[in-house]
Amino acid sequence: MKTQPDAPRPRIRVLPDHVANQIAAGEVVERPASVVKELVENALDAGASAVRVSIEQGGKGRIRVADDGCGMIREDLLVCLDRHATSKIRRAEDLRDIHTLGFRGEALPSIAAVSRMVIDTAPSNQATGSRLRVLAGRMQGVDDAPRRPGTTVDVRNLFLNTPVRARFLRAAGVETRAVSEVLHALALANLDTRFVFESNGRTVFDLAAGRELAARIGAIWKDADAAVLIPVATQRGGTRLFGVVQRPDRARPGFRRAHLFVNGRPFRDAGVLAAADRGYRTTVPDNTRPWLFLFLTVPGGQVDVNVHPGKAEVRFRQRGRIEDFVESSVRETLDGIESAATWGEPRPLHVVREGEGAGQGAKVAGDPGAASDEDADDDIAQINIFRARAAQAEDAAASEEVYMPRAPRPALLQIHNSFILAETRDGIIILDQHAAHERILYEEMLAGFEGAGSEGQRLLFPFTIRLTKPELEIVESVSETLARLGFELAPFGHEALLVQAVPSPHRYFDAEQCIREMVQELLHGSDLTRSANNQNERVAMSFACKGAIKAGQKLAQEEMHELFDQLFATELPYHDIHGRPTVVRLGLGELRRKFGRS
C-alpha cells in the first residue's frame, strides 16, 4: 500500500509585532546618532523651544532627549509605540506636502524594540504627567509621574537584544562625534530653538536660541570667522535660496563643512553640492572645497522627502532646474563685492533668518569683510564709477549721436609695476594687473567663441616657430579654436609653423612666447586647463594666462583706467581664473583701527 505524501505546509506567515519592529529598527536605527535624530525631530515637531540631549558612552549606554514641547496625554502615550502611529499624517494625500520632520511613525517603536526605554510626558493643560516603561518592545507599565509640559525619552542599552548589531558600533568617541554632527544640522535649521548637548556629564555645547544664522555657525565652529562666509539670497519664481558660502580667497583643499536644507529639513545630495561647487569655477583652484550652508525653499509638491528610511535624502521633481538655480545663485553671489579679498582680520558676519519658519533663509545685516558697513557702501559706490564708465562706452558705441559725460576718474597709482592702487571715497582698493587682465581676456575669449570670434592683427613680417612633432599635433588639434582667438597659423615645412596674424591684447604682448607657452601647457596639461569643461575653455584659459599683462610691465594712466573699466564689466571681476583675487580692498575704518585712531 502506497503512503500518501505529506500535504504542503504554508511557508508564508505574518511576523509578530516585536519581530517586525526589530526589522524596522534595522532601517531606522543604524547607530546612536540615528536615535538622537529621530527623537530630536519629534521634539521639534512638538514645538519645543529648548532641547537637551544627554548621552553616555557615545550613546551606546544611554541616550536622553528632553524637550519643552506640547507633550502627550496618556491615550497618545499608549498608542505612540504602535507601528505607523503618528500625529502628522492623516491621509495619503498629506505625503505630497509634508511640513514636519518626522512622519513615518516607525521611529519610537523601532527604537523601543532594541532598547530599554522610558518616556515621561505631560501636556500643558494637565497637572500630572505619565511615565511609560518599555523593554525590548514590550510594554512594562504606565504610571503617573510629575513632569513639566514636554517630553523626555530615555533610551538605555541600545541593541540589547541584537548583540551582533551592537558589535558593529564604533568607539565611543566616534559615535559621540556622529551625534554632534546630527545636532549641528538640526540646530542650523532651527534657530529659534535652544540646543544643549551633554556627553558623559560634560556639556559639549549650549546653543542659545536666536535669529542669526551666523551667530549659530560661530557658536558651533570657533573657526567660522576666519573662514569668512558671505551671504547668499536669490529667488527664481517660487524657489528661494538663502544661506552663506565661503569667500573664495579663504577656501582651502581637503575637509570642508557643507550643510544643505530644503524647506527647513537637513538633507544630503551630492548633485546639489556639485552644482554649488560649479558656481565657484575659475574663482578657486580645482581641488578647493569651500564651506557651504544653503537653505532651499521650494513650492509644495516639488520635493519628495519620503524616499529614505532615515529621511536623509530627498527627490526633486525638477532636479536639473534646482541644480541650475543653485549654481547660478552661487555664481551671482561671487559677482558681488563681498566676495573680494580684504585686508586685516575678518569681521563677524551677521546673517539673520528670513521668514517665520525655521531654516527658511537668511538675510544680511552687515559686511563680512574687514571694512565697516559704511566702508563697503563707499567701495561699492566707487567701483560703480568703473562699471558706469564701461556701460557708457557700450552706449556710446551703440549710438554715437548721444553724448554722455564720463564720471570723474579716481587717481590711480601703479606700485612696483605690478599692482594698481585706487583711492575710494572711504578707503583704497589694490588691483593685481596680471590677475585682472587674465579675467578680462578669459571672458572676452569665451564671448568671442559664442559669436564670430576675434580678428587678429596681421603681421607686416610673419615669423616661423620650430616645434616638435607632438607639439605640431596639438596645435593642429586646436587650430580652429586658435583661429577664433585671432591666430593665423600655417604649416611651414615639416617642423615649423608660419605665424601670419596674432591677437593684440596689450602693447607688451610677445606672440612667439605666448604660442610656445600655450603649446607646452596644452601638450602637458596643468591644473588650470584640466579643470576646463571643453576645448574652447581649455584654450581660452591657456591664452588668458599666457597672454595677459605680466607683473613688472609699466602701464600708462589710460591703460590702468582701461584695465579697471574692463575688469568691472566682467562677470566675476574679483577673481582670476586660477582662483586668486584680482582686487584687495581696505576700508578707511580698518585703516583707522590699524593706526589706533578708531
Alpha-carbon gap, residue 124 to 68, rounded angstroms: 9
537, amino acid identity: E
Sign of CA dihedral 281, 286, 292, 294: positive
CATH number of the structural domain 213-364: 3.30.230.10
In a 13 Å sphere around the CA of 402, the CA atoms on its Cβ side amount to 10
Alpha-carbon gap, residue 411 to 561, rounded angstroms: 9
Alpha-carbon gap, residue 320 to 341, rounded angstroms: 32
Residue written as grid cell 534657530: 191
213-364 and 17-207 share a CATH fold = no
Query: Of 172, 159, 141, which Cα lies nearest the Cα of 35?
Result: 159
Say if CB 48 and CB 69 are below 8 A apart: yes
Please report, to the nearest 10 degrees, the dihedral formed by the alpha carbons of residues 350, 353, 358, 359 taken in order.
Answer: -80
Angle, alpha carbons 73-79-80 (nearest 5°): 85
Map out the domains of the chain as residue ranges.
17-207, 213-364
- According to DSSP, residue 10 is labeled P
Q: Give the H or E element holding residue 583.
A: strand 583-587
**pLDDT string in tens for the chain (598-residue length):** 556 666 676 667 665 665 555 555 545 688 999 999 999 999 999 999 999 999 999 999 999 999 999 999 998 898 888 876 665 545 444 455 555 555 545 688 889 999 999 999 999 888 789 999 999 989 999 999 989 999 999 999 999 988 888 888 999 999 999 999 999 999 999 999 999 999 999 999 999 999 899 999 999 998 888 889 999 999 999 999 999 999 999 999 888 999 999 998 999 999 999 999 999 999 998 889 999 999 999 987 788 776 655 567 788 989 999 999 999 999 999 998 889 998 865 665 666 655 433 333 344 333 334 444 444 444 444 444 444 444 444 444 333 333 333 456 767 999 999 999 998 877 899 999 999 999 999 999 999 988 877 788 999 999 999 999 999 999 999 999 999 999 999 999 888 999 999 999 999 999 999 999 999 999 988 878 888 889 999 999 999 999 999 999 999 999 999 999 999 999 999 999 998 999 999 988 888 888 888 6
Alpha-carbon gap, residue 517 to 276, rounded angstroms: 32
C-alpha gyration radius of the chain: 31
pTM of the shown model: 0.81
* Set of cell numbers at residue 455: 580678428
Strand pairing category for 138-145 and 457-466: unpaired
- Residues making up the chain, counted from first to last: 598
Alpha-carbon gap, residue 504 to 384, rounded angstroms: 28
Alpha-carbon gap, residue 395 to 406, rounded angstroms: 12
| N- to C-terminal Cα separation, the chain | 112
Query: Of 257, 186, 190, which Cα lies nearest the Cα of 221?
Result: 257
Sign of CA dihedral 136, 137, 140, 144: positive
Per-residue pLDDT at 100? 55
Give SS3 for 351: strand
Say if CB 349 and CB 210 are below 8 A apart: no
In order of 424, 451, 491, the CA distances from 375 in angstroms are: 9, 39, 56
In order of 289, 453, 500, 531, 540, the CA distances from 534 in angstroms are: 22, 16, 27, 9, 10
User: 242 - beta bridge partners?
Assistant: 233, 295
CATH number of the structural domain 17-207: 3.30.565.10
Say if CB 234 and CB 241 are below 8 A apart: yes
Per-residue pLDDT at 3? 62
Per-residue pLDDT at 354? 52
Estimate to the nearest angstrom the gap between the alpha carbon of 224 and the chain centroid.
14
Strands of 298-366, DSSP E: 303-304, 315-316, 341-342, 351-352, 363-364
519, amino acid identity: V
